[in-house]
Structure 1
Amino acid sequence: MTVYGFIGAGNMAGAIVRGTIAAGTSPSDVLLTSAHESAARLAQATGARHLEAAAELVAASDVVVLAVKPHMVPAALEPLADALASRRPLVLSIAAGLTTERLAEMLPAGTRVVRAMPNMAAAVGQSMTALTAGAAATDADLDAAGALMGTVGRTLVLAERDFSAFTALAGSSPAFVFQFIEALARGGVAAGIPKAQAVEIITQAVLGSALTVQAEAARSTQTGGGRGRTPADLIDAVSSPGGTTVAGLVALERAGFSAAVVDGVAATIDRDRTLGA
């Protein structure tokens, strides 16, 4: 069995630990360490093993998951150089903004690095995670990283140059969707529906809409399945001539809805590139 060692035990690490254990990894093959009490609490909650010394964790791990805040990574890695050089584990980083090149500079020469970018939906097993391989990583390393991150949702391999765009499309977009749900709920409240009931209605509608788009996309990738409908096709399917939906859509476009969303994506990408500079 693969032994996973987590350096850091925050919310995202916790989601991954719970996901891989739920998928069949023995809790005894999941090692945890952190600078705070979070690792001990997570170990108690999941059955994973808490180790006080990070070097001991590295020495026993096949995959080391770097799950600390980006600004803490240099300090976390510096005392582990000898252990990493001796054990040679795969290092899987979920530290936002740190490129594989930057990580390689902080690690012993030749260390295999894979960078992963999950999103907050990992907590409910529905993350969209991008993976990219460092210079020394192999296809097998990408597969290993994908197997772990696949326990909390879907994964795809993406060129690292596209990670800023991915941040907008997957990392930040949940906040955009939450804002959309909140705005729809306010509209429902204005029409007389209680807030909690409005949120319940909208959440199911948004979930169903997302699953519909996903199912149509799957049709496009199936051999002989034909072309699935695009989001634009689905909008047309819901919009009867002269009907309620098209009236709402026209009002949204007059208010600049689509342009505002595109601007939000662009602003997120610009900010991510600035932070990573």
Structure 2
Amino acid sequence: MMKVGFIGTGNMTSAIVKGIVASGQMPKENLYLSNRTPEKRDRLASETGATVCSSNEELVSTVDVVILAIKPNLFSTVLPELAPLLIEHNPVVVSIAAGISLSQMHSMIGQDSAMRIIRVMPNLNSQISEGMAAVCGNDHATAEEIDFIVSVFESIGEAIVMKEEDFSVFSAIAGCSPAFTFLFVDALSRAAVKYGIPKEMATKIAAQAVLGSGKMLKESDQTPWNLIDQVSSPGGTTIEGVLALEENGFMTSVVKAVDAVVEKDRNMNKE
């Protein structure tokens, strides 16, 4: 049974560890935690039964998979410090940081090493076990290792294997789209306030409608446009609203938002 260690015990690690424990995917004793703030590490260990490591070095020396759940700006410090141990013990290295490529991580550890490195991009909704994650491994990572990491992230939602070059687009439609969706829900609820419905009630109504629509689409074999047609009665209210959205550039605005995210992400990666 694989031993999985987490360097960093923030919100995402907390969600992943709790998801793994809840799903029974692996024994809680096979999950290891290290964090520069011992209180956060110990709190998560107490909540989940995971094993505490006193240092990053101890964790790397113990586990089969190291998941780096640290901020991107810490990679250039943490990876070179751990490089000798990583090369010696040869665990699978997994990153959930945005903007740090597989090749950059390989260089930080040692360009001549044969490290198996996997990059994962989860999204905010992983914190409620409704996440969407993209997974990509370097040339040294095996299909079995990549599949294992996919299964880890399936414990908190959905996960798919994608080419790293497509991560910028994934970031736009999965990583940033929760913010776009929150904006849409807020716009719906503010429109309801205009007509006299209290904001809290309107937000609850709109959020549930969006949640149900997403589930409906996911569980249906229909395309989004087919479902729109099902809701749009001839001469009815829904088609009136759909046409008003299109008249004001709703679809074009969404595409432009995705364009902006992709361009920004690719420029950041170049830097």
1:21 is aligned to: 21
Verify: 1:158 aligned to 2:162, yes or no: yes
Q: Select which of 171, 181, 185 maps to 1:181.
A: 185
Pairwise CA RMSD: 1.2
- What TM-score do you get using the length of structure 1 for normalisation? 0.93
What secondary structure, in the 3-state scheme, does the structure 2 residue paired with 1:58 have?
Answer: helix
1:5 is aligned to: 5
What secondary structure, in the 3-state scheme, does the structure 2 residue paired with 1:129 have?
Answer: strand
What secondary structure, in the 3-state scheme, does the structure 2 residue paired with 1:154 have?
Answer: strand
What pairs with 1:258-277 in structure 2 (closer than 5 Å)? Answer: 258-277=251-270
Q: Which stretches in structure 1 are left out of the alignment for 5+ residues?
A: 217-227
Query: C-alpha deviations, 1:243-264, integer Å up to 9, x for none?
Result: 1011111211122111111110
Give 1:87 deviation, angstroms: 1.3
1:30 is aligned to: 31
Return the alpha-carbon distance in structure 1 between the equivalents of residues 73 and 15 of structure 2. Answer: 21
Give 1:73 deviation, angstroms: 0.8
1:224 is aligned to: none
Return the alpha-carbon distance in structure 1 between the equivalents of residues 269 and 20 of structure 2. Answer: 30
AA aligned opposite 1:210: G
Return the alpha-carbon distance in structure 2 between the equivalents of residues 138 and 47 of structure 1. Answer: 30
Return the alpha-carbon distance in structure 2 between the equivalents of residues 274 and 46 of structure 1. Answer: 39
What secondary structure, in the 3-state scheme, does the structure 1 residue paired with 2:2 have?
Answer: coil
- What TM-score do you get using the length of structure 2 for normalisation? 0.95
1:101 is aligned to: 103
Return the alpha-carbon distance in structure 1 between the equivalents of residues 268 and 52 of structure 2. Answer: 33
Query: C-alpha deviations, 1:218-244, integer Å up to 9, x for none?
Result: xxxxxxxxxx32101111111112110
Return the alpha-carbon distance in structure 2 between the equivalents of residues 26 and 140 of structure 1. Answer: 20
2:123 is aligned to: 119
Q: Which stretches in structure 2 are left out of the alignment for 5+ residues?
A: none
Give 1:115 deviation, angstroms: 0.5
Give 1:26 deviation, angstroms: 2.4
Give 1:28 deviation, angstroms: 1.8
Give 1:101 deviation, angstroms: 1.1
Q: How many residues align?
A: 266
Return the alpha-carbon distance in structure 2 between the equivalents of residues 239 and 114 of structure 1. Answer: 44
Verify: 1:91 aligned to 2:88, yes or no: no
Return the alpha-carbon distance in structure 1 between the equivalents of residues 42 and 126 of structure 2. Answer: 21
AA aligned opposite 2:50: A
Return the alpha-carbon distance in structure 1 between the equivalents of residues 103 and 83 of structure 2. Answer: 17
Query: C-alpha deviations, 1:139-181, integer Å up to 9, x for none?
Result: 0111111111111111111011100000000000000000000
What secondary structure, in the 3-state scheme, does the structure 2 residue paired with 1:242 have?
Answer: coil
Give 1:46 deviation, angstroms: 2.1
AA aligned opposite 2:27: S
Deviates more, 1:174-183 or 1:207-216: 207-216
Give 1:45 deviation, angstroms: 2.5
- Residue identity over aligned pairs, in percent, reads 41
1:220 is aligned to: none
1:251 is aligned to: 244
AA aligned opposite 1:9: T
What secondary structure, in the 3-state scheme, does the structure 2 residue paired with 1:156 have?
Answer: strand
1:130 is aligned to: 134
Return the alpha-carbon distance in structure 1 between the equivalents of residues 265 and 156 of structure 2. Answer: 24
Return the alpha-carbon distance in structure 2 between the equivalents of residues 200 and 267 of structure 1. Answer: 30
Return the alpha-carbon distance in structure 1 between the equivalents of residues 244 and 150 of structure 2. Answer: 42
Return the alpha-carbon distance in structure 2 between the equivalents of residues 46 and 215 of structure 1. Answer: 32
2:145 is aligned to: 141
